[in-house]
Chain A
Amino acid sequence: MYDAPTLERDVTEAKTKFSARNVQVWYGDTHAIKDVNVEIEDNTVTAFIGPSGCGKSTFLRCLNRMNDTIDVCRVEGDIRLDGEDIYDKKVDPVQLRAKVGMVFQKPNPFPKSIYDNIAYGPRIHGLARSKAELDEIVENALRRGAIWDEVKDRLDAPGTGLSGGQQQRLCIARAVATQPEVLLMDEPCSALDPIATAQVEELIDELRANFSVIIVTHSMQQAARVSQKTAFFHLGELVEFGETGHIFTNPEDERTESYITGRIG
């Protein structure tokens, strides 16, 4: 199984992709994210860890403005993608989301065929000029999502008819097919067996060559295996952020230490 030692990971001087300053998020009166500052680098896998309900998903959804779809949600502060404020009035959230793809915590395939599920993004953004090209994009995405072998004979079957884990990989493939610059993955392996998990982790590592990847996970091992940077959230605050190897071997905050050694969670 893929399990590279973290220390050998080379973190070259990468340029900043996302930069968040003083981000606050409210759901009505609930203060879900408190004053978060973080710099996320390009060509890097960043892991968000932390106990359930601490705001990992919420912060992730700020990065592609998915929180806009929730009525009661209010985001404050400054989030920049390549130096451009994404909450600026001039920014089109639709375009932003094409650049910043997302895999959701719960698999949400469309009630369409497997093929149409994957082709959805490429069709919307006009990525393919011909049917053959589209076929190729779909096959490629399904291969990267580690699900091609299981579905290649039934591309016309509804995506909702797949098993939970297959749906999760379908959603990963769907996000990859749109060719985003940043991929946000909210617990992408929560329903996967070890083999599929390894394949997805391999994909994440591969994506790092061209994209920036942010992954939320409840598995310390997974965070250690795939990420170069790790952010630990606790009760809406970003407690600690730094090199993955450093956080796991030498945490500065005692809350981080208790969490990764399994004392809070």
Chain B
Amino acid sequence: MPATWIVLLVLALAVTGYVLGRSRALKSAGGDSRNLHSLPRYYGAHVLLMTLVPALGALALWVILQPLIVDNAISAGLPDSAIPEASTRGLVMSDVRRVADGLDLAVSEGTISAEDAASLRPEFNNIRDRLGEVGVALGSDVSAPVLKAAQEYRRASSTASLLMTITVLAIALLGFGYALSRTNGEFRARNVVESGIKALLVAAASIAILTTLGIVLSLIFNTLEFFKLYPAWDFFFGTTWSPSFGGGSELGILPLLWGTFYISLIALAVAVPIGLFSAVYLSEYAPRRIRSIAKPLLEVLAGIPTIVYGLFALLTVGPLLLKVFGDGGLDWMQAGTAVMTAGLVMGIMLIPFVSSLSDDIINAVPQAMRDGSYGLGATKSETVRQVILPAALPGIVGAILLAASRAIGETMIVVLGAGAAARLSMNPFDAMTTVTAKIVSQLTGDADFASPEALVAFALGMTLFVITLGLNVFALYIVRKYREQYE
């Protein structure tokens, strides 16, 4: 039975359980809910949860584990002779899976009958062609052991699926029966449901944390793999970035970090003053009508996809800068793509980010604080400078650091606006590139994933991750420190 049907069945059982549990509890109290320990709906919810959660948990676990276990079992059963030279067990297993999937498909489309699929012999039936008919392309003819393994694979999978259906439904029924049997007026359903809900929330939180952990671990392992092929010292302190897929590449991160840093700096130099000042204007000076128009407009700016900003950099800002600083003008700039172009556009992208965060923070400063200052005869700007901004400072610093981590992680604008040359230069009108842009270019194309040229992407990602993590931790620290002082 497919998993969808199992889920629907369990759901139906759970809903029935809700109704039954509720009415059973009411009946045990003689129809008067005041005699119950908890509200009737808690008894219903108790049965519902007991039916649903263990069964669906088991289903999820099973769906994840079954392919792993079946795979292992079949793989162990493959004779060594079935593995051709210059191939690995893993590659052969992926053939096995393809054939098994192909047979499944053929059976479901009716080109092969179910019995035939189980008893096909490679010597007699042209399997490759017959699978090709249903759209499964195989690289070579199917050898006898592979076919045998695929047939076994199908058999094991279908047995396992049957077993899964039975187990899950049994667990659901057990939970249903157990919960219903415990339902009576004395039973503390509310407490049980409360702790059940808490467990669900904990599970959700742990999934989020475990996923993050998984990503970080995979980053770390691949980075270590990279450092086995390429010395860490040369990576962190090398000043040249020139990958060549033929070998002998130089993969120094410094030019990329410098590009990232330089572009982010220009972006922040644009975004922080403009964003902050517009936030102050909007929250302290603007009449209500202007505020109600301007604030949504600014937020629209935040909704523009970064690729559009990238186009804007490439087609508008770059040529404009070139006209002023290029050949015809000051002659500092060779091409439209430059640190300045990307930095300016990224700054524009960050303005709404800074301003809307700061605006919220400034608005959170209590009105009493303003009253106190105005009441002493302070002007608006004095109040803003001496009372509101200091009170809002930790939040604003946090907002700026968040903007900085966005600038560091930004890719599209850099790819389109800053060029692709990795370079250590002080001239903001030179083309440079950043860590993120290089991660993209290292992984696109026909890279061999085991080469240092591809693995370096993980090391770059890891470095970036550590930097943004550091920034965020620092932001939190600042916010905490000042909060303690002021509250």
Which residues of A are in contact with B by a Cβ distance under 8 Å?
A: 64, 66, 69, 71, 94-99, 101-102, 104, 106, 108-112, 120-121, 124-125, 158, 160, 171, 174-175, 178
Distance in angstroms between the alpha carbons of A198 and B391 in the assembled complex: 33
Name the distance in Å between B301's Cβ and chain A's nearest Cβ: 26
Contacting residues of chain B (350-404) with chain A, CB-CB under 8 angstroms: 366-379, 382, 386-387, 390-391
Task: Provide the residues of chain B in CB contact with A110, threshold 8 Å.
Answer: 369, 372-373, 386-387, 391
Is B376 a contact partner of A111 (Cβ separation < 8 A)? no
Name the distance in Å between B368's Cβ and chain A's nearest Cβ: 4
Task: Give which listed residue, A69, A71, A112, A174, contacts B376 with CB less than 8 A.
Answer: A174
Name the distance in Å between B390's Cβ and chain A's nearest Cβ: 7
Distance in angstroms between the alpha carbons of A64 and B486 in the assembled complex: 28
Contact A69 to B374, CB < 8 A, known contacts A111-B486, A112-B390, A160-B487: yes
Task: Provide the residues of chain A in CB contact with B228, threshold 8 Å.
Answer: none
Task: Provide the residues of chain A in CB contact with B487, threshold 8 Å.
Answer: 160
Task: Give which listed residue, B369, B370, B372, B378, contacts A124 with CB less than 8 A.
Answer: B378
Task: Provide the residues of chain B in CB contact with A99, threshold 8 Å.
Answer: 377
Contacting residues of chain B (446-487) with chain A, CB-CB under 8 angstroms: 485-487
Distance in angstroms between the alpha carbons of A94 and B374 in the assembled complex: 7
Contact A64 to B375, CB < 8 A, known contacts A71-B288, A110-B369, A158-B486: yes
Task: Provide the residues of chain B in CB contact with A160, threshold 8 Å.
Answer: 486-487
Is B371 a contact partner of A69 (Cβ separation < 8 A)? yes
Is A121 a contact partner of B377 (Cβ separation < 8 A)? yes
* CB-CB nearest in chain B for A171: B372
Contact A94 to B378, CB < 8 A, known contacts A69-B371, A108-B371, A160-B486: yes
Task: Give which listed residue, A97, A109, A112, contacts B374 with CB less than 8 A.
Answer: A97
Task: Provide the residues of chain B in CB contact with A108, threshold 8 Å.
Answer: 366, 368-369, 371-372
* CB-CB nearest in chain B for A70: B367
Distance in angstroms between the alpha carbons of A97 and B370 in the assembled complex: 13
Give 18 pairs: A residue, B residue, CB < 8 Å, sorted on A. Answer: A69-B367, A69-B370, A71-B288, A94-B378, A94-B379, A97-B377, A101-B375, A104-B368, A108-B366, A110-B387, A111-B369, A111-B390, A111-B391, A120-B386, A121-B376, A158-B485, A174-B372, A175-B376
Which residues of B are in contact with A by a Cβ distance under 8 Å?
A: 288, 366-379, 382, 386-387, 390-391, 485-487
Task: Provide the residues of chain A in CB contact with B377, threshold 8 Å.
Answer: 94-99, 101, 121, 124-125, 178
Task: Provide the residues of chain B in CB contact with A106, threshold 8 Å.
Answer: 368
Task: Provide the residues of chain B in CB contact with A66, threshold 8 Å.
Answer: 371, 374-375
Name the distance in Å between A99's Cβ and chain B's nearest Cβ: 8
Name the distance in Å between A137's Cβ and chain B's nearest Cβ: 13
Task: Provide the residues of chain A in CB contact with B387, threshold 8 Å.
Answer: 110-111
Name the distance in Å between A161's Cβ and chain B's nearest Cβ: 9
The B interface is mostly helix, strand or loop, or mixed, namely helix
Nearest 6 pairs between A and B by C-beta? A98-B377, A108-B368, A111-B486, A102-B375, A108-B372, A97-B377
Is B375 a contact partner of A97 (Cβ separation < 8 A)? yes
Task: Give which listed residue, B367, B376, B386, contacts A178 with CB less than 8 A.
Answer: B376
Distance in angstroms between the alpha carbons of A250 and B302 in the assembled complex: 68
Name the distance in Å between B23's Cβ and chain A's nearest Cβ: 51
Task: Provide the residues of chain B in CB contact with A124, threshold 8 Å.
Answer: 376-378, 382
Number of A-B contacts (CB under 8 A): 73
Distance in angstroms between the alpha carbons of A125 and B370 in the assembled complex: 17
Distance in angstroms between the alpha carbons of A160 and B391 in the assembled complex: 11
Distance in angstroms between the alpha carbons of A160 and B365 in the assembled complex: 14
Task: Provide the residues of chain B in CB contact with A102, threshold 8 Å.
Answer: 375
Contact A120 to B373, CB < 8 A, known contacts A160-B486, A160-B487: yes
Task: Provide the residues of chain B in CB contact with A178, threshold 8 Å.
Answer: 376-377
Distance in angstroms between the alpha carbons of A102 and B378 in the assembled complex: 12
Distance in angstroms between the alpha carbons of A94 and B390 in the assembled complex: 21
Most A CB contacts (10 A, CB to CB) among B371, B372, B386, B486 go to B372
* CB-CB nearest in chain A for B366: A108
Task: Provide the residues of chain A in CB contact with B378, threshold 8 Å.
Answer: 94, 120-121, 124
Contact A98 to B486, CB < 8 A, known contacts A104-B368, A111-B390: no
Task: Provide the residues of chain B in CB contact with A111, threshold 8 Å.
Answer: 369, 387, 390-391, 485-486
Distance in angstroms between the alpha carbons of A158 and B484 in the assembled complex: 10
Task: Give which listed residue, B288, B375, B485, contacts A175 with CB less than 8 A.
Answer: B375
Distance in angstroms between the alpha carbons of A212 and B178 in the assembled complex: 79
* CB-CB nearest in chain A for B386: A120
Distance in angstroms between the alpha carbons of A97 and B390 in the assembled complex: 23
Task: Provide the residues of chain A in CB contact with B366, threshold 8 Å.
Answer: 108
Contact A101 to B376, CB < 8 A, known contacts A66-B371, A69-B370, A124-B382: yes
Task: Provide the residues of chain B in CB contact with A104, threshold 8 Å.
Answer: 368, 371-372, 375
Q: Please name 5 further chain A to chain B contacts, defined as beta carbons within 8 Å, in addition to the given A66-B371, A124-B376, sorted by A numbering.
A: A69-B371, A98-B377, A120-B373, A124-B382, A174-B372
Contact A97 to B485, CB < 8 A, known contacts A71-B288, A110-B369: no
Distance in angstroms between the alpha carbons of A97 and B372 in the assembled complex: 11
Name the distance in Å between A91's Cβ and chain B's nearest Cβ: 13
Name the distance in Å between A155's Cβ and chain B's nearest Cβ: 15
Name the distance in Å between B366's Cβ and chain A's nearest Cβ: 8
Distance in angstroms between the alpha carbons of A102 and B386 in the assembled complex: 19
Most A CB contacts (10 A, CB to CB) among B373, B375, B378 go to B375
Distance in angstroms between the alpha carbons of A175 and B377 in the assembled complex: 10
Most A CB contacts (10 A, CB to CB) among B369, B374, B379 go to B374
Task: Provide the residues of chain A in CB contact with B376, threshold 8 Å.
Answer: 97-98, 101, 120-121, 124, 174-175, 178
Distance in angstroms between the alpha carbons of A101 and B375 in the assembled complex: 6
Task: Provide the residues of chain B in CB contact with A64, threshold 8 Å.
Answer: 375
* CB-CB nearest in chain B for A184: B375
Distance in angstroms between the alpha carbons of A98 and B374 in the assembled complex: 9
Task: Provide the residues of chain A in CB contact with B371, threshold 8 Å.
Answer: 66, 69, 104, 108
Task: Provide the residues of chain A in CB contact with B485, threshold 8 Å.
Answer: 111, 158
Task: Provide the residues of chain B in CB contact with A109, threshold 8 Å.
Answer: 372
Task: Provide the residues of chain A in CB contact with B386, threshold 8 Å.
Answer: 110, 120
Distance in angstroms between the alpha carbons of A67 and B487 in the assembled complex: 27
Distance in angstroms between the alpha carbons of A108 and B368 in the assembled complex: 6
* CB-CB nearest in chain A for B365: A111
Task: Provide the residues of chain B in CB contact with A158, threshold 8 Å.
Answer: 485-486
Distance in angstroms between the alpha carbons of A97 and B373 in the assembled complex: 10
Name the distance in Å between B456's Cβ and chain A's nearest Cβ: 48
Name the distance in Å between B387's Cβ and chain A's nearest Cβ: 5
Task: Provide the residues of chain B in CB contact with A175, threshold 8 Å.
Answer: 375-376
Name the distance in Å between A98's Cβ and chain B's nearest Cβ: 3
Name the distance in Å between B28's Cβ and chain A's nearest Cβ: 52
* CB-CB nearest in chain B for A97: B377
